[in-house]
Amino acid sequence: MPARLESGVRARLGDASRPWGHAVAIGAAAAAVLMAVTSTGDVILLGVLLGLAASDAVAGGVAILAGAGVIGRWGTSSLAALAGGQAVVGAGGWTGSELTVASTWGGALALLLVCPPGLAPAAAFGATAAQIVAGPALAEGSSTGMIALRVLVPLGGMVVAMALARLVPRPIARTGAVLVGVVAAGLAFAS
Amino acid sequence: MNGEQVLLAVAVACPLAGTLLGLLAPSTVVGRRILKSGALVSAVAWGALLVLSSAVHVGGFHSGPLVSSTACGAALLLISVDRDAPTRPALAASGFSLVFIQAALATGGGGGNGGALVGGLAASASCALAAAWEPGRVGGVLAPPAAAIGVLATAVGVFLVHDETSAWLLPAVGSATVPRNAVIALVIGAAGLCIAGGLRPGRSTVLLLAGGLGVGARAGPLLGIAANVAPAAPGTSEGLAGLVLALALVAIVASLLRKPPLAIAMLSLAVAAGPLRLLPASRLLAAAAVLALAIDRAPAWLLVVPGAAALVVGAVDAGSVLAIACAGAVATVGAVLAGVEFFDGAPATEARNRFDIWSVPTILAGGWLLLAPGRWTWTAAQELRFYDIGAARAAAAGLIAAVLVIAWWSRAPAGPETEPESDPQGEVEAGPEVEPGAGALPAELVLSERSAP
C-alpha cells in the first residue's frame, strides 16, 4: 500500500497515537457492525460496544438510550426479536403510530449525531441506526432490488453519520444527541 | 464417595489446608501464595460442582446452585486479597475467614442451617475484620459496624423464621412461607454484610460481600411466597417496594462514591427482593458484583451488562411498576457510574493498574459472564440465549478486527525516507527511531506530540 494512502487510511480510522486503545475501538466497531447487520444479540450490549467504538461515555449513553427506545417500542432487548417484529409488522421507521415512528427516527438521529469522526465508528453507528429504522423487513420478498436496498440502508446510515460528524460541531452534536435520545426514549415508553 | 462428593470434600478442605500450610511457610509472602492456591483449588471445585448442578452431601456440608456459586465467589474474592497486613496473624485470619464463610453457606440443607449460618458469618466477619484491621481509614472505621449490623440482622431473621417454622433450617424458595419481618431482617443483614465487604477492595473483608449476597439470594425470593406479603398466587408477589427502593438508593449512593461492586451488589439485593420474575437478573448482578470486586479494575463494572439485559427482559415480562423501578435503578446506577468516569477520569483511589497473575481466573470468569450469561444455568437466565449468540459473534468479529489492527500498527513504520520530499526541512527523525505506535502518523502530528511538554 502506498505510504500516502496508508497514512490517509490511518488518519481516517482515528487517533493513531494509541494503537492498543484504538484496536479495542476498532474491534468494538466491527463487533457492533456484525451484531447490527446480522440482527443478533442484545441492544444493551450493542450500546456498550458502540460506546467502546467511539471511546466516549456520552456516545455509549446515547446508544443505550436508543436501545431503551427500542425496548420501549418493541418490548424486548433482543435484536433478533426486533428484526422479527419489523419483518412481521413492517419497518420501524414508517409503521405504527406517529409517536412510535417519531421515537424510532429520534433514536436513529441521536445515534447518527453522536457518532464521532472516523470510518469505523460511522459504520457501527450507521448500521445500528439503519437496523432501528429499517430492519430486515426491507428484504422481505428477496427480490434483488429489495436486497440491494437492504445493503444500501446501512451504507446510507454510515454516510450520513460521517457527514454529520464532519459538518456539525462536536459539542452541539453531542448535546443534541443526548436531548434527542432522551425524547425518543420517552416517546417510545409513552406510546 | 462418588466424584461429586470428592469435589465437595476438596472444595471444603482446601481453604483449611491452604491456611495451615501457609502458616508453616518460611515467609508470609510464600504463605499468602499457598493460601491463594488453596482458595483457587476450592474455587475450581465449587465451580465444577456448579457446572454439574450438583446437589450432594458430605457430612454436614452440602452443595447446591446457590451454595456452590456463593462459595466459589468467596474463594475467588480471597484470591484477590493483596492489601492485608503482611503478618502471619493476618494470613491466618484471612484464611479462616474463608473457611468459616464456606462452612456458614454449605452447612445444613435446603436454604441452609440458620445456626450455622449466623455462627459462620460471625466468625468469618471477625476474622476478616481482624485481617483487614485499618482503623485509620474511613472504610476501616465503617466496615466493623456494618458487619456487626449484618450479622445481627441475619440472626434476628433466623430467629423469626424459627418462630414460624419451628426449625433452624432456612426454607428453600417455594418450600414454605416465612414471616415478612424475617425476610426484611435477612435482607437488611445481607445489605450490611455487602456494605462491609464492598467498601475496601483487596482486603479480607471482601469475603463478606459474597456472604451477604448468599444470604440475600436465599432470603429475597422468600418474599414471593410469603402469604402475608403476597395475597395473590405464589410467584406474583411484588416484594416490598420500600425495601427495594431503599436498597436502590444505597446503590446509587455507592455509585456516586465510586464503589461499583457495592452498587451492583445493592442492586442485586434490591432486585432479589422485588418481583420473582427478576430473580435471574438478581443472580447475574450478584455474580457481576463478586467478580467486579475481585477484578477491581475500572472497566469491571461493565459486568453489569448481562444482569441489566436480563432485568430489562424480566421487567417487560412482569410489567409492574416495581419491576420497571428496578430497571430504572439499574439504568440510574449505570448512568451515574458512566458519568463519574466521564467527569472524573482519574482512576479510583486504590484501583489496580498493573497485571497480576492471580487476577487471571477472575478475569476469565468475568469474560465468560459478559459473553455467555445464558450459560450460567444456575441463574436461570434462559431468556439471554439471543444475547449469547450475538455476544459470541461480536467477540469473534471484534477479536479478528483488533488483531488485524494491532498487526497493522506493529509493522515497521513507513519512515520518512520513503517520502523525503514531504520533509524538506529534515526535522523528522529517521524511520527506525520513530516511536512505536506512532507509525505512519502525519509528520506534523508526530512533531507536535514530541514538542509537547
Min Cα distance A66 → chain B (Å) is 13
Cell numbers given for B130: 481482624
The yes-or-no verdict on residue B11 having pLDDT over 90 is yes
pLDDT band per the 50, 70, 90 thresholds, residue B239: low
Q: What is the pLDDT of residues B327-359, one digit of tens each?
A: 888 888 888 887 776 666 555 555 555 668 888
The yes-or-no verdict on residue B376 having pLDDT over 50 is yes
With CB atoms and an 8 Å threshold, state whether A71 touches B316.
Answer: yes
Mean of pLDDT values over B201-209: 94
Min Cα distance B382 → chain A (Å) is 13
Give the ipTM of the model, two decimals please.
0.80
Whole-angstrom distance, CA of residue A129 vs CA of residue A69: 12
Best probe of the B interface among A6, A12, A26, A44, by most B CBs < 10 A, is A44
pLDDT band per the 50, 70, 90 thresholds, residue B288: very high
Query: Global pTM?
Result: 0.84
pLDDT at A139: 57
pLDDT band per the 50, 70, 90 thresholds, residue B432: very low
pLDDT band per the 50, 70, 90 thresholds, residue B188: very high
Please give the share of chain A, as a percent, with pLDDT higher than 70. Answer: 83
Whole-angstrom distance, CA of residue A83 vs CA of residue A90: 10
List, for chain A, all residue ranges whose pLDDT scores fall below the cut of 70. Answer: 1-19, 136-143, 145-146
The yes-or-no verdict on residue B256 having pLDDT over 70 is yes
Q: Exposure string (b/e) for B339-365, b if CB count within 10 Å is 16 or more?
A: ebbeeeeeebeebbeeeeebbebbbeb
Whole-angstrom distance, CA of residue B204 vs CA of residue B197: 8
Residue B438 neighbours by CB distance under 10 Å: 16
Cα nearest neighbour of B336 on chain A: A61
Q: Dump the DSSP string for A41-104.
A: SBHHHHHHHHHHHHT-HHHHHHHHHHHHHHHHHHS--BHHHHHHHHHHH--TTSSS-HHHHHHH
Min Cα distance B196 → chain A (Å) is 30
With CB atoms and an 8 Å threshold, state whether A17 touches B438.
Answer: yes
Mean of pLDDT values over B284-299: 91
Distances in Å between the alpha carbon of B445 and those of B234, B243, B409, B428? 66, 56, 16, 11
- Which residue among B302, B394, B438 sits closest to A31, beta carbon to beta carbon? B394
Whole-angstrom distance, CA of residue B446 vs CA of residue B453: 13
Mean pLDDT of chain A: 84
pLDDT at A191: 75
The yes-or-no verdict on residue B179 having pLDDT over 90 is no
For chain B, the residues whose C-beta falls within 8 A of a C-beta of chain A are 302, 305, 308-309, 312-313, 316, 331, 334-335, 338-339, 341-342, 384, 386-387, 389-391, 393-395, 397-403, 405-406, 409-410, 414, 418-419, 437-442, 445, 449
pLDDT at B135: 82
Cα nearest neighbour of A30 on chain B: B398
Q: Quick one: which of A78, A80, A73 has its CA closest to A96?
A: A73
Q: What is the pLDDT of residues B107-157, one digit of tens each?
A: 866 567 888 899 999 999 999 999 998 888 888 889 999 999 999 999 999
Report whether A106 contacts A68 (CB < 8 A): no
With CB atoms and an 8 Å threshold, state whether A41 touches B440.
Answer: no
pLDDT at B180: 81
pLDDT at A6: 53
pLDDT band per the 50, 70, 90 thresholds, residue B274: confident
pLDDT at B209: 96
Residue of higher predicted confidence among B37 and A38: B37
Residue of higher predicted confidence among B382 and B94: B94
The yes-or-no verdict on residue B277 having pLDDT over 90 is no
Place of cell 452447612: B107
pLDDT at B446: 36
Mean of pLDDT values over B394-405: 89
With CB atoms and an 8 Å threshold, state whether A48 touches B394.
Answer: no
pLDDT at A28: 93
Whole-angstrom distance, CA of residue B80 vs CA of residue B204: 9
pLDDT at A1: 46
pLDDT at A183: 94
Residue of higher predicted confidence among B211 and B448: B211
Residue of higher predicted confidence among B24 and B55: B24
Residues 6+ apart with CB under 8 A from B25: B31, B33, B34
With CB atoms and an 8 Å threshold, state whether A35 touches B442.
Answer: no
Cell numbers given for A170: 462536536
Number of separate helices (H) and strands (E) present in chain A? 9, 0
Amino acid in position B66: L
pLDDT at B77: 95
pLDDT at B449: 38
Mean pLDDT of chain B: 82
Residue of higher predicted confidence among B301 and B233: B301
Please give the share of chain B, as a percent, with pLDDT higher than 90. Answer: 44
